[in-house]
Chain A
Amino acid sequence: MFASSVLYAANSARPPKPASKVPSSQVAKASSFERDIQPLLANNCTTCHNDQLASGGLDLAKFSTASSILQHRDGWERIVQKVRTGEMPPEGLPRLPVAQIEALVKFVQSEFEKADRNVKPDPGRVTTRRLNRNEYSNTIRDLLAVDFRAERDFPTDDSGHGFDNMSDVLTISPVLMEKYIAAAERIASRAIGGDPLPKKPVEAEYHIKHKTIRRLDASTIEATHRLDWDGEYIVRIGLPGERGQDAKPVTLGFWMNGKLLQTSLVETKPSKLEYFDPYSDTELRLALPAGDHVFRAGFINDDFVKTVPEKELFNSKKNKFLNSITFVGPFPAKVEKASRKKILTCDPNTGAACVDKILSALARRAYRRPVTRAEVAALAKFAAMAKAEGQSMEQGIQLAIQAILVSPHFLFRIERDLDPTDPSKVHKISDLELASRLSYFLWTSMPDDELLSIAEAGKLRQPSVLEAQVKRMLADERSSALADNFAGQWLETRNLDSITPDPKKFPEWGPELRDSMKTETRMFFESILRENRPLSDFLDAKYTFLDERLAKHYGIEGVSGGTFRRVELTTDQRGGLLSQASILSISSYPTRTSPVIRGKYLLQNFLGAPPPAPPPDVPTLDEEAVGNAGSLRQQLEKHRSNATCASCHNRMDVLGFGLENYDAIGKWRTMDGKFPVDISGTFPNGKSFSTPAEMKVLLKEELPDFARCIIEKMLTYSLGRGLEKYDRKTIDDIGRKLSASGYQFQTLISEIVQSLPFQSRRGEGLLTKEAVNPKEVARQ
């Protein structure tokens, strides 16, 4: 409320009036507020922010006493932020001396801290949360060793605060319930394989001539294919054409969903035989999982093709290329499925004891807690029921698995309270609940056996055990879920799949380049995580991860081939997230860059100061409307001469223009069309830069803000709820410890895990509802 009014009110033309007098009763209680802070406001702020003018809707009368700091904490936070960044006093007025700014910040913060020390700690309460699509898929993978991709099947999970694991918005609809039931049937059947394969294998062909295949580049093709059964398949890749007499063999690769499955060497020189149309094919035999998959076939490191003129790329006398992928199958797999090995630990035909053994082991893992004998008996009834219907024992187990997979104990993460309706009853969650919180935070999946056993034994909170588990879990490859789900949403790189750069302006854009961009950011994030690097690496690391495609895109020499590797950067054009093409692309329009979007992105995701949306009657400044960059900068500057716009755009646009050396897909440029790129800028605090590298240096000075931003994002993600007023202390505490550790990434994670809201909960009560999203109120 406060902030929005600050920003929306138009600049009044009326002459300023002197500040209103502070009531004498309050002056009597003299403190350093009256001595140091009050005059500062009176001399610098109340000329505009008074009861007459209330510039930006702010009348500082409400903020004239020490006690107001706690009464109007949101407002004070905003005041401090504006003053600290130099956004206030506005351009054109004398800047506050640094000492005064520091005095203000320090005083207000110490008041906050004093108050926080006296507040009864409140861990908040997380609503019972259903598994979202990623959690569901990963849990199925770890529970049953079945590859199932819920995002292809289930309706979109709504999100809030930028994350799709917020318990309050994870609702259940009848459509989703239908999907749960159907998925349970399919998954159970695939896990046990009790349902027979079709008698005859089926052939499905994807061919250029039928337009059923996409050509990604001259030697790569891709098709989306759905396999209805797990099994072995013959994959035949059609390879028309031939190359010169002395042509070298080339490596053919076959990928599923971006993962290289197999390679095979292909001869490319003309065969001795007289062909009318040169043609060969390569057959691979692979065990493939059921589901919709993107299959890609292509030559790896095909240097020859670069020498072929474009119009002869598909001339079968001049080049060898790919034109079709054919799937034949399924054939029964020769090796027993991993899922059967995992589930059928004994032969269910031997009797009830084995059925019970299988089902109690499964249910324990699926419900992520020990199960009662009654629960196992209820599940065993399904096995009996299938038997009574004339099915096999294995199909009976299959039916019991179906029941497990639609059970609320599987679909929801339920945490118990001593007294669910008494908000004053704060208590530690159980070890088992903590184990699930941990695994869904770090792995987006269920606890594994080790974690579950420790929790069952009640040892998870023993000294050093929890820390050791966190270390172990981060080292496990499942922790790359943090890159996919936390970083993918925090950095918004998940949107790479839905952006559509204009192919006329950006012919290089394609699924391959897009995947390379994704991989770079993912590997970069993972390396900081796993190697426990400092958070400042996100801003200015001197290394990154590249393959040849992306290295070329960046103009970096010496990286050849499709394998990603760590590259030490010698150029100051790249380094840190802000020069990664993924982020530069998702913060652009389809046809051009947008300094406003990029500036907003930085404020929101890096500096924790998201600008409010523009006021309803002022359209968002749409720089797409502007023909070229030369006038774009002028237009934006004009826009900023309007005080209403300036209060936000001053900082936002400077940040955005600082990245103008990168085009809308992240390529370096010095010209935008006919105009030379001018990125120079001055922040409201008076500091200037003239290259992206110099801007980065200034950004690095904001490391505490960046750290706080990432703490807030990660705490939100780890808890599955929005942050509340009472979480401030937790955020501050983590911030201090993080800073003391030199901002090491793993410190952030272990501090979150140790924090009060992660470890505890309380009963539900009015307390939670009153404090709805203080941050939104404060910032918007």
Chain B
Amino acid sequence: MIMRKALPRRTFLKGMGTAIALPFLDAMTPALASSRIPGQAPVRMGFVYVPNGMDVRNWNLDYEGKLDKLSRIMQPLERHKQDLLVLGNLTHNNGRALLDGPGDHGRCCGSYLTGIQPRKSAVDIKVGISMDQIVANQIGHQTRFPSLELGMEDSRQAGDCDSGYSCAYTNNLAWRSETQPLPPVLDPRALFERLFGADAGLTPEARAQRNRFRRSILDFVTNDTRKLQSSLGPTDKRKLEEYLSSIREIERQIERAEKDNEQIDPQMEKPYGVPADFAEHFKLMTDMLTVALQADLSRVFTFLVTREGTSRPYREIGIPDGHHPLTHHRNDPALMEKVTQINTYHVTQFAGWLDKLKTIKEGDSTLLDNSMIVYGAGLCDGNRHNHEDLPTLIAGRGGNYISPGRRIEYRKETPMSNLFLTMMDRMGVHEEYFGDATGRVDGLNLT
């Protein structure tokens, strides 16, 4: 056939090609960050959430002060010891039943960043605005995306999520309002397109025209919606208000993009599909997140690694059993061992990401230095479903704010919300109340 001769054997265009994700090109451009961020590098705040608690025997450290010997699960972080602050006894009281009966998995995820006990309902969802969104509302206008929400696991497609709690509580960490969760982006390609544009091929003129069209359309639908709203009941109005507020957010993005028409070249191929391999998926997502933070596309992120109650097996490390069933191990050492291995595997991926964050120089410091990233679980022991002493550590110095390399043990039952209020301070957002906070936490820095 003629066609065949006329074409080179393998031609890849952007947007067509391999079925598997191409590996990230490690050579990123450090120049990018410095050119986009004049003067003092901004502080970034993020949360990496792992589900189903941990095998806390192998997580906990039995000493305070300078980090010395790490626990087995933390072992992969050995090389990052000087960048970690390990926190003990932080508690989410609002993850507890408090007369609402079963559903610890739904509750602990819903309350994690909100500090509020979620309403027990399958559809009539209500929790609180999450702390990352409180921060994003204040500082988000400075970046293209007020916040980024990432995840790695799709929701259950059918059935119940947890004991009468809507799946919304376990599918999402970030809540823009008490009824509006922000779904995480799961697919590397979707994340790529969101961050770096699906239209890298467009000329500046074409892009400008597209933005003009988009603006007119958004004006048009905003007007239509206003007309509609006046004749509706309160809940319907609220639904349309969600829609309008999302439109306003897009308008803001367009405005920013118009002011700042620079295209960010992530120096990677657009990924395809979702890698089956956990580590590969994690790396792709965090590689892109790194570029986004480096290029100051956003300063706030949440990363829901997998969902509460997940039954994902970990064949990558030879564990064919589902994660959640394993955590109810009834003290069988063989099963507890597998839980520890899964916990350690997660930490291993996180440690690999920290390596990358450290390679990004920002003046005399690194991207990691200018970040504070909470790594933690919403349950303590996945077997017992308890909500006190949640496994928690912070990586990074939050821009010369945190003095890491230590472990702090707070008074028992210290609200996690106290830590969050303190972190919000660091982000320049000073709130009087948050969730069940009783105050701030001390000791994050030694000065």
Binding site for B on A (CB under 8 A): 1, 4, 125, 127-128, 130, 152-153, 155-156, 158-162, 166-169, 171-178, 181-182, 184-185, 198, 200-206, 210-213, 223-228, 234, 283, 292, 327-328, 378, 382, 385-386, 389, 399, 402-403, 406-409, 411-412, 414, 416-417, 420-421, 488-495, 497-498, 500, 502, 504-505, 589-591, 604, 610, 612-617, 619-620, 622, 624-625, 721-722, 763-764, 772-773, 776, 780
CB pair A204 B17 closer than 8 Å: yes
B325 within 8 A of A: yes
Give complex CA distance A234, B9 in Å: 15
Q: What residues of chain B lie closer than 8 Å to A152, measured between beta carbons?
A: 187
Cβ A612 vs Cβ B3 within 8 A: no
A780 and B101: CB pair below 8 A? yes
Query: A389 CA to B149 CA in the complex, in Å?
Result: 36
Which chain B positions have C-beta within 8 A of A185? 210
Give Cα A125 to B234, complex, Å: 12
CB-based contact A178/B250 at 8 Å: yes
Q: How far is the CB of A504 from chain B (nearest CB, A)?
A: 7
**A127: B residues at CB distance < 8 A:** 235-236, 239
* B102 pairs with A780, CB closer than 8 A: yes
Q: Is the CB of A776 within 8 A of B125?
A: no
Q: Mark B296-322, 1 if CB is under 8 A from A, else 0.
A: 000000000000000111010000111
Determine whether the beta carbon of B159 is less than 8 Å from that of A162: yes
Instruction: Looking at the assembled complex, report how far the CB atom of B20 sits from the nearest CB atom of chain A, in whole angstroms.
Output: 6
Tell yes or no: B71 within 8 A of A by CB: no
A772 touches B124 (CB 8 A): yes
Q: B19 to chain A: which residues have CB within 8 Å?
A: 206, 212-213, 223-225
Contacts of B375 in A (CB 8 A): none
When distances are taken between beta carbons in the complex, the residues of chain A under 8 Å from B217 are: 181, 184, 382, 399, 402-403, 406
List 16 additional contacts besides A159-B166, A160-B167, A177-B249; criterion CB under 8 Å. A128-B232, A128-B235, A152-B187, A155-B185, A158-B172, A173-B183, A174-B246, A175-B185, A198-B13, A225-B19, A403-B221, A406-B218, A498-B156, A612-B163, A613-B103, A624-B325
What chain B residues lie within 8 Å of A169 (beta carbons)?
123, 125, 166-168
Residues in chain A near residue B194, CB distance under 8 A: 175, 178
Q: Can you offer 13 A-B residue contacts whose CB atoms are under 8 A?
A: A125-B233, A128-B232, A160-B125, A171-B179, A202-B13, A204-B11, A205-B10, A212-B19, A414-B228, A416-B231, A420-B234, A613-B102, A616-B102
Query: B11 touches which one: A178, A202, A227, A488 (CB < 8 A)?
Result: A202
Q: A173-B181, A173-B182, A225-B19 are in contact. Are A494 and B224 (CB under 8 A)?
A: no
CA A613 to CA B161, docked complex, whole Å: 11
Asked if residues B122 and A161 are in contact (CB atoms below 8 Å), the reply is yes
The reply to whether B7 and A328 contact each other, CB–CB distance below 8 Å, is yes
Asked if B158 contacts A613 (CB within 8 A), the reply is: no
Closest 7 CB pairs of A and B: A613-B102, A420-B233, A160-B123, A155-B183, A494-B157, A764-B233, A160-B122
A206→B273 CA distance, assembly (Å): 15
Verify if B446 is at the interface (C-beta below 8 Å from A). no
A489 touches B125 (CB 8 A): no
The residue on A at minimum CB distance from B3 is A328
Interface pair B236/A420, CB less than 8 Å apart: yes
| A211 cross-chain contacts in B, Cβ below 8 A | 20
Query: A492, B159: Cβ atoms under 8 Å?
Result: yes
Enumerate chain B residues within 8 angstroms of A399, measured Cβ to Cβ.
Answer: 213, 217
Among the stretches B327-335, B389-397, B409-417, B430-438, the one at the interface with A is B327-335
Q: Considering the complex, which residues of chain B in the window 231-253 have a beta carbon less than 8 Å from any beta carbon of chain A?
A: 231-236, 239-240, 242-243, 246-247, 249-250, 253
Q: With the chains together, A100 CA to B62 CA distance in Å?
A: 62
Bound together, the chains give a CA A152 to CA B185 distance in angstroms of 11
Q: How far is the CB of A225 from chain B (nearest CB, A)?
A: 7
How near does chain A come to B152, taking the closest CB pair, in angstroms? 12
Q: Contact partner of A156 among B12, B154, B225, B234, CB < 8 A? A: B154
Q: Kindly state whether residue B130 has any CB partner on chain A within 8 Å.
A: no
| Contact residues of B between 114 and 135, Cβ < 8 Å to A | 120-125
Query: Most chain-A CB neighbours within 10 Å: which of B11, B185, B243?
Result: B243
Listed in ascending order, the chain B residues whose CB lies under 8 Å from chain A are 1, 3-4, 7-13, 15-20, 97, 101-104, 120-125, 149, 154-164, 166-168, 171-172, 176, 179-187, 190, 193-194, 198, 209-210, 212-214, 216-218, 220-221, 224-225, 228, 231-236, 239-240, 242-243, 246-247, 249-250, 253, 272-273, 311-313, 315, 320-322, 325-326, 328-330, 332, 335, 383-385
Chain B residues with Cβ under 8 A from A773's Cβ?
A: 121-124, 164
Q: Which residue of B lies closest to A166 (CB)?
A: B123
A173 near B176 with CB under 8 A, answer: yes
Report Cα–Cα, A616/B97, bound state, in Å: 8
- The answer on a CB contact under 8 Å between A494 and B246 is no
Measured in the bound complex, the distance between the Cα atoms of B17 and A764 in whole Å is 52
Given A168-B125, A212-B20: A408 in contact with B240 (beta carbons within 8 A)? yes
What residues of chain A lie closer than 8 Å to B321, measured between beta carbons? 589-591, 624
Most buried by A among B4, B160, B236: B236
A616 x B159 contact (CB < 8 A):
no
Known: A177-B243, A614-B102. A414 touches B236 (CB 8 A): yes
User: Given A161-B122, A173-B182 in contact, is the A201-B163 Cβ separation under 8 Å?
Assistant: no
B124 touching A226, Cβ below 8 Å:
no
B326 near A153 with CB under 8 A, answer no
A177 adjacent to B121 (CB under 8 Å): no
Judge whether A130 and B239 touch: CB under 8 Å. yes
Q: Which residues of A contact B325 (CB under 8 A)?
A: 589, 622, 624
Once bound together, how far apart are the Cα atoms of A537 and B16, in whole Å?
47
How far is A356 from B189 in the complex, measured between Cα atoms in Å? 38
Instruction: Name the distance in Å between B283's Cβ and chain A's nearest Cβ.
Output: 18
Contact A382 B216 (CB under 8 A): yes
A152 to B186 alpha-carbon distance, docked (Å)? 11
Closest residue on chain B to residue A423 by CB atoms: B233
B162 contacts which chain A residues (CB < 8 A)?
A: 613
Query: Once the chains bind, are B149 and A412 in contact (CB under 8 Å)?
Result: no
Are B155's CB and A590's CB within 8 A? no
How many angstroms between the C-alpha atoms of A658 and B221 in the bound complex? Answer: 56
Docked pose: A776 CA to B165 CA in angstroms: 10
Q: Using known A-B contacts A226-B16, A328-B3, A402-B217, determine if residue A495 contacts B164 with beta carbons closer than 8 Å.
A: no
Residue pair A498, B124 in contact (C-beta under 8 Å):
no
By the criterion CB–CB under 8 Å, are B123 and A721 in contact?
Answer: yes
Residues on A with C-beta less than 8 A from B198 are: 182
Closest approach, in angstroms, between the C-beta of A624 and any C-beta of chain B?
5
A554 to chain B, nearest CB (A): 24
Chain A residues, Cβ within 8 Å of B20: 211-212
Give CA–CA (A658, B261) in the complex, Å: 65
The answer to whether A172 touches B157, judged by C-beta atoms less than 8 angstroms apart, is no
Inter-subunit contact B167/A159 (CB<8 Å)? yes
CB–CB B18/A212 < 8 A: yes
